[in-house]
Structure 1
Amino acid sequence: MFASVGDSQISETEFNNAFYRHMRSKYYHGKPPEDQVNQVRQQVAESIITRSLLVEESRRQGLKCDEQAVQATIEQYDKRYASSEQWQQNRESLLGKLKERLCEDDLIRQIETNVRKVSQPTQKELTEYYETNLDKFTEPARQRVSVILLQVAPSAPKTVWEAAMAEAKSIKAEIEQDGDYSEIASLRSADKSAANGGDMGYLHKGMLSPAAENVVNALPLNQISDPVRLLRGIAIFRVDERLPARVRPYSEVSSRVKDLWERDESENNWTSFKDQLWATTSIKIYDPSVSLKEKN
């Protein structure tokens, strides 16, 4: 036996099957790195024990498996594997365990739906949530950036890159001698923003490559950068405007505040419910490589 959970038992075979299913779904070669094996075993153990707790609790509450839904799922299996000789040969022997698991899945779905239900929040709760989570309603600092890009293939020879850099320096000199940046961008830039005179719009941190972002962040407003080599070619940047981070007022985000409050409350309900089951149920694990989750 792998573990006892209340009145239920989890066999070594059940645990091993869950462990190998997890490895096949998560790891490309079906096996975690050697130093992570015990951590994965712990994760799978907690998952399978939690599943057992939920199934046991759903039955204690008198929930009933939706037999029609289970049968409909089995019919989907029959259609999906209609041409599978292995499925046809083993269908009857697999059916019992499959029905049992599908019923358990349905019971867990029902109990999760019930637990996750939240009541309508009061205005006070929503206001407090907004004020406590202002970071969720803050627009990041943004910069309106323009670019002239002379495209060069990454694999192009050194001479091509040098020619592009020389051309970019010539373009910069032209702009500094009263050349029109937007007009030159429209005619000579390979970036899609050329259609807008090089205007890339408002960008926030992470929207440019690190090399481009470093150049843009250091630029004074309305000045053009020295040509910089990027993966796609040689670029000349200009920053047209900078906007600081802005906390959006409650009136603008009230619907999102309610959505996020309900999401978080639902998640808190579900997590607390599972923690309570762990705390109030007798659980014993007989595998020395797995430790019992601490009770809250």
Structure 2
Amino acid sequence: MDLKVDKGMSARLLFLLLMWVFSISSVLATETEAPQENDSEEPLSYLAIIDGEEIPIGEYVSALRRGMRDRFYHGTIPEEEQKKFYQEVADELIQRFLLVREARQRNILPDVGAVEAAVEQYDERFQKDPDWAKAREEVLPQVRNKLEADSLALRLEEAVKVIGKPTEKELEEFYESNKALFTTPERVKVSLILLRVDPSSTGEVWQQASEEASAIVARLTKGADFAELARIHSSDESAQNGGDMGYTHSGMLGDAAQKVLDIMEIGDTSAPVMMLEGVAIFRLQDKITSELNPLDAVRERAESLYLREMGEKAWEDLIADLRSKAKIEINDAPWR
């Protein structure tokens, strides 16, 4: 069904209608104009035909407009991303169609209360617009239809992802296959002296900081107190604690620092390390090696992760199954 637009309708309301109404049949705007192989050919009226049912091209146009607004700055698509974007939006619409149809076949019902509340909010938002009275009787049902479809897809996903509690064997197999998820990573206790340097500083400034750091390392080598020098020289917030940063997990201090810490022994002081923030000196105070937690200690987390992973798999399998069983004819003119 085509939407008839009154000539006196405001530009704002017209844009509103184009956003929400999926039955319009219009050509794409300049930014989203679909290239045709032959300009003399009449453009197809559909994006896709799925088992005999059409997704109108107008629905695709509306989805493109929303997608441009949500994903791209000023709604302008970088030329190199256009084709991929057009295909992604088409794929999302096709998938949504299949999911909504599956939800209805399973007799899943939308969340009527949430849908009606959203429709009421939408209606109230435009009450002061003089053109709204002319359009609301036609627009609101279509808004409601879209919200109901969204709710059906969401409720289907929720239902599919409900997985039964794993058996002991299933849980043990999941634990054994995902030990990294249940391993407490290595932790190191580090103290730091940071001579902060602005990244945009000249090479001369960096050189001066490096030389100052070398002088501090020399004093530490001769027995100077690390905490005292950290309080005097360090620009890091840990300076007030004598440079003590407490325990951190591997990689949290950045690649440059981690490479140095990996080869240090407890009690070692590093040579000056060039980092983005400036020149750093590290002292390794303690190291706790990584440890695999026994299943009994992480059982609750293991069950939660199992249910989430199996739920995601069930959802992905459903989508793949729906696609494989459907006869889908796609109008690829927009990105061909």
TM-score by length of 2: 0.76
User: For this pair of structures, how many residues does the alignment match?
Assistant: 291
- 2:185 alignment counterpart: 140
Residue in 2 that maps onto 1:36: 81
CA distance in 2, matches of 1:225, 1:281: 63
Aligned to 2:122: 77
Alignment partner, residue 262 of structure 2: 217
> In structure 1, what is the equivalent of residue 300 of structure 2?
255
* Separation of aligned partners in 2, 1:191 and 1:71: 54
- Name the residue aligned to 2:277: 232
SS in 2 for 1:106: helix
Q: Please, which runs of 5 or more residues in structure 2 have no aligned partner?
A: 1-45
CA-CA distance at 1:249 after TM superposition: 1.7
SS at match of 1:2: strand
> Residues 210, 76 of structure 1: CA spacing in aligned structure 2 closer, same or farther, 3 A cutoff?
same
Which secondary structure state, in structure 2, belongs to the residue aligned with residue 236 of structure 1? strand
C-alpha displacement of 1:166: 4.2
Task: Decide which of 219, 225, 238 is 1:193's aligned counterpart.
Answer: 238
How far apart are the structure 1 equivalents of 2:243 and 2:234? Answer: 7
Q: Which amino acid aligns with 1:266?
A: G
Quote the Cα distance in structure 1 between the aligned partners of 2:49 and 2:268: 70
CA contact (8 A) 2:165 2:303 kept: no
Task: Return the letter of the residue paired with 2:85.
Answer: V
Q: Distance in 2 between matches of 1:89 and 1:261?
A: 53
1:289 shift after superposition: 6.0
Q: Is the 8 A contact 1:8 1:52 kept in 2?
A: no
- Please report the TM-score for the alignment, with normalisation by the length of structure 1: 0.85
Structure 1 partner of 2:327? 282
Query: Residues 83, 219 of structure 1: CA spacing in aligned structure 2 closer, same or farther, 3 A cutoff?
Result: farther
- The one-letter amino acid of 1:225's match is S
- Which of 124, 148, 155 is the equivalent residue of 1:110? 155
Q: Secondary structure at the match of 2:73?
A: coil
Moved more, 118-127 or 35-44: 35-44
My pick for the range that moved more, 31-40 or 94-103, is 31-40
Q: CA RMSD in A?
A: 2.7
Question: CA 1:127 to 1:87, structure 2 compared with 1: closer, same or farther past 3 Å?
Answer: farther
Greater displacement, 21-30 / 100-109: 21-30
Aligned to 1:294: none
SS of the residue corresponding to residue 102 of structure 2 reads: helix
Secondary structure at the counterpart of residue 275 of structure 1: helix
Partner of residue 313, structure 2: 268
Secondary structure of the structure 1 residue equivalent to 2:166: coil
Q: CA deviation at 1:150?
A: 2.8
Deviates more, 1:163-172 or 1:247-256: 163-172
Could you say if the C-alpha distance between residues 132 and 211 of structure 1 is closer, same or farther in structure 2, counting changes exceeding 3 Å? closer
- 2:264 counterpart letter in structure 1: L
CA change 1:168–1:99 in 2 (3 A) is same
Overall identity of the aligned pairs, in %: 37
Give the CA deviation at 1:239: 1.6
Mean CA deviation greater in 257-266 or 131-140: 131-140
Task: Provide closer, same or farther for how the CA distance between residues 169 and 109 of structure 1 changes in structure 2, counting only shifts above 3 A.
Answer: closer
Match of 2:224 in 1: 179
Task: Identify if the C-alpha distance between structure 1 residues 222 and 87 changes in structure 2 by more than 3 Å, giving closer, same or farther.
Answer: farther
Q: Unpaired segments of 5 or more residues in structure 1?
A: 292-296
| AA of the residue aligned to 1:268 | K
